[in-house]
A and B are shown apart, each in its own frame.
Chain A
Amino acid sequence: MTKALRINESTEKGIIEFLKFLLEKGKVKAVFSLKKISDNGAVAYSLITDPDELKDAVPFYPLMPVNAGKLLSRFTLKEGTRKPVIAVLKPCELRGFVELLKREQGSLENLYIISSICCGVFPSKTEVDGNAEKNLSKYWDTVKKGEISPDIRSVCKACEEFIPYTADLTVDYLGNNDIDKKCLIYLNNKNGEDLAKDMKGDFSEKELDRKKIDKIKEKRLAEKKKLYDKIDSKMKGIDGLVNVFGRCIGCHGCSKVCPICYCKLCEFESPDSEYSPSNYETELRKRGGLKVPPGTIYYHLGRITHIGISCVACGQCNDVCPVEIPVADIFKKVGESIQKMFDYIPGKDLEEEIPLVTFKQEEFAEVEE
């Protein structure tokens, strides 16, 4: 059983009330949340200190302009925040942040996390097209029914990790018909309880409704299978790779937005990756022709070997790809295949080591021949 707070407002309003309460009581000095930045539906992550500014905050808006895990890492990279801040994150953003923390790319100091049982986000394109606002009521309808919205990202539809692992507070709106009337927040630990103390509402002991969770998980598993089958049908041999990645224009946008790719000097952008005339000559002697510059497939496969183990499948890379390569779909599948070898769920537990920087003496004997 977990302690829970029920605020008798709509979920949308209740969260804002709660965040306002935290600011006004001085329990936190700032709120990190999505906020509307113009009336054309654009949203951006913002730090908010003035309670009145919260009126435009949209904490659980189904868009992910940036993986906020990456933002929090940058925010706390040099030192942890000196004053208490509460950040509203989606579960995969939180997991991305935890993976970055494991790599010493940020700090949890004075940072509280509020997350939710996630129902997925729209592709960023939806925002550009102006469809985000339009699809919003449809989205919340599917959330109430505990179904998968048809408009969310492909990886969101196939996501099984939609319950946050390490949040102090978890907002639950999945499959709740009465989200227009109530706002349910689970207080997962002492921090969460301290924050919620004295907030207006009903406190109780509650347990997550496993049945509804399992129901949606089943649906998502079916979506995942569909997604993976689609990848399998395309990715066959070196020709399959050429077909899939052939359109890549080498912008490296997928690595720029990736919450796990944090290297200041990326191997693939370093002088080591440049081809000299003699490299070209060597390759041309073998092949009789060569794409300029070479290394497209090497880049994508290389990135999988570097970050696959920690890929949280947030889908940012799908979104930014200008030539619509399903990078995230592929990374989700390949990443999961190696994560399973180590029973590793990236971002689940801060104390758990990244599998590739540790070992057991007795394991994988079958790999050696």
Chain B
Amino acid sequence: MVKNDDFMPRILAFLCNWCSYAGADLAGTSRLKYPASILPIRVMCSSRVDPLFVLRAYLGGADGVLVAGCHPGDCHYQEGNYYTRRRFAALKKIVETIGLDSDRLRLSWVSASEGQKYAKVATEFTNKIKELGENSAKTKIFL
């Protein structure tokens, strides 16, 4: 793993349309500062995120993968994020058991009014990934 101060992680973020994407928007319109490390992908619900998406991002060389959705109980589709939570817990366990770095995966609840929280999550996660260094899958030829 390469570790240096110039390292700017590339973090793929799956943001749910109704809460977290709007939260990210709010962070922007409120002119909050957070690292430019996040590449957002908008999904209609966090439960749309097949664990395969996360694995593909990881193996594709993303330094971190963030899945963000509405707070439990606030899902636009009533219960999507409950499924997300279970799947994500299982995925993290799989990644851990298989000997990969589960700290590169993060699940956060960010509501549409939580621009502040979005900026905080982005900053925290970026710093964490900076500590972990670059994802070694990025330069693997056999995948």
| A binding-site residues for B, Cβ under 8 Å | 232, 235-242, 246, 267, 283, 286-291, 294-298, 301-302, 304-306, 308-309, 330, 333-334, 337-338, 341, 355-361, 363-364, 367-369
With A287-B140, A359-B85 already in contact, the answer to whether A334 and B90 are too (CB < 8 A) is no
Q: Shortest Cβ distance from A276 into chain B, in angstroms?
A: 15
Instruction: Label chain B's interface by main secondary structure.
Output: helix
A337: B residues at CB distance < 8 A = 93-94, 96-97
User: Do the beta carbons of B109 and A368 come within 8 Å of each other?
Assistant: yes
Which among A236, A304, A306, A341 has the highest number of chain B CB atoms within 10 Å? A304
A359 CA / B94 CA spacing, docked (Å): 18
Binary contact readout B85-108 vs A (1 if CB under 8 angstroms, 0 otherwise): 111111111101111110000111
Known contacts A238-B136, A291-B143; decide if A305 and B94 are in contact (CB<8 Å): yes
Question: CA separation between A76 and B61, bound complex, in Å?
Answer: 44
Give chain B nearest CB distance to A352 CB in angstroms.
15
Query: B2 contacts which chain A residues (CB < 8 A)?
Result: none
A359 to B35, CA, bound (A): 34
Is the CB–CB distance between B142 and A291 below 8 Å?
A: yes
Q: Range of interface residues on chain B?
A: 35 or more
Closest Cβ neighbor of A298 among chain B residues = B59
Assuming the A-B contacts A237-B99, A301-B94, A305-B51, are A367 and B141 also in contact, with contact meaning beta carbons closer than 8 angstroms in the complex?
no
Known: A242-B140, A291-B141. A338 touches B90 (CB 8 A): yes
Interchain CB contact under 8 A, B55 and A298 = yes
Q: Which of B82, B99, B109 contacts A241 (CB 8 A)?
A: B99
With a cutoff of 8 Å between Cβ atoms, the chain B residues found around residue A288 in the complex are 139, 141
Q: Is the CB of A297 within 8 A of B94?
A: no
For the complex with contacts A287-B140, A338-B93, 4 further pairs of A-B residues with Cβ separation under 8 Å are A333-B97, A364-B85, A368-B109, A369-B121
Given the interface pairs A298-B56, A338-B90, the reply to whether A361 lies near B82 with Cβ below 8 Å is yes
Give CA–CA (A120, B72) in the complex, Å. 45
Q: A368–B143 contact, CB under 8 A?
A: no
Q: Name the residue in A242, A289, A301 with the highest tally of chain B Cβ atoms < 10 Å from its Cβ.
A: A301
The interface residues of chain A lying within 8 Å CB-to-CB of B141 are 287-291
Give CA–CA (A296, B92) in the complex, Å: 20
Per-residue CB contact flags for chain B residues 27-41 toward chain A (1 = under 8 Å, else 0) read 000000000000000
Q: Which of B83, B90, B93 has the most CB of A within 10 A?
A: B90
Partner of A368, one of B56, B100, B101, B107: B107
Looking at the assembled complex, report how far the CB atom of A211 sits from the nearest CB atom of chain B, in whole angstroms.
33
Within 8 Å CB of A358, what residues of B?
86
Contacts of A294 in B (CB 8 A): 143
**Residue of B whose beta carbon sits closest to that of A228:** B97
Report yes or no: B107 in contact with A241, Cβ–Cβ below 8 A: no
Known contacts A286-B138, A368-B109, A369-B108; A308 and B143 CB within 8 A of each other: no
Q: Determine whether the beta carbon of A302 is less than 8 Å from that of B55.
A: yes
Tell me the smallest distance from the CB of A34 to a CB of chain B, in Å: 34
Interface core residue of B73, B138, B140 (most chain A CB under 10 Å): B140
Chain A residues whose C-beta falls within 8 Å of the C-beta of B131 in the assembled complex: none
- The residues of B that contact A368 with a CB separation of less than 8 Å are 85, 107-109
Nearest CB of chain B from residue A231's CB, rounded to whole Å: 9
Nearest-Cβ distance from residue B93 to partner chain A, whole angstroms: 5
Contact of B89 among A242, A267, A291, A367 (CB under 8 A): A367
With A235-B99, A291-B141, A368-B109 as known contacts, state yes or no: A363 contacts B90, CB within 8 Å. no
Q: Report B106 CB to chain A, min CB distance, Å.
A: 6
Chain A residues with CB under 8 Å of B92's CB are: 367
Whether a CB of chain A sits under 8 angstroms from the CB of B44 is no
Given A238-B137, A359-B85, A369-B106, check contact A305 B99 (CB 8 Å). no
Residue among B85, B86, B100 making CB contact with A237, cutoff 8 Å? B100
B54: min CB distance to chain A, Å: 9
Q: How far does the Cβ of A133 sit from chain B's closest Cβ, in whole Å?
A: 39
> Is the Cβ of B97 less than 8 Å from the Cβ of A240?
no
Q: Answer whether A359 and B79 are a contact pair too, CB < 8 Å, given A298-B56, A302-B55, A368-B107.
A: yes
Minimum-distance CB pairs A-B, first 5: A359-B82, A289-B141, A305-B51, A235-B99, A337-B97
Contact of A367 among B94, B107, B139 (CB under 8 A): B107
- Within the assembled complex, what's the spacing in Å between the Cα atoms of A305 and B137? 19
Output the least CB separation between B122 and chain A (Å): 12
CA distance A286 to B143 in the complex (A): 13
A304–B143 Cα gap in the complex (Å)? 16
Task: State which of A240, A296, A309 has its C-beta within 8 Å of the C-beta of B143.
Answer: A296
CB-based nearest A residue for B90: A338
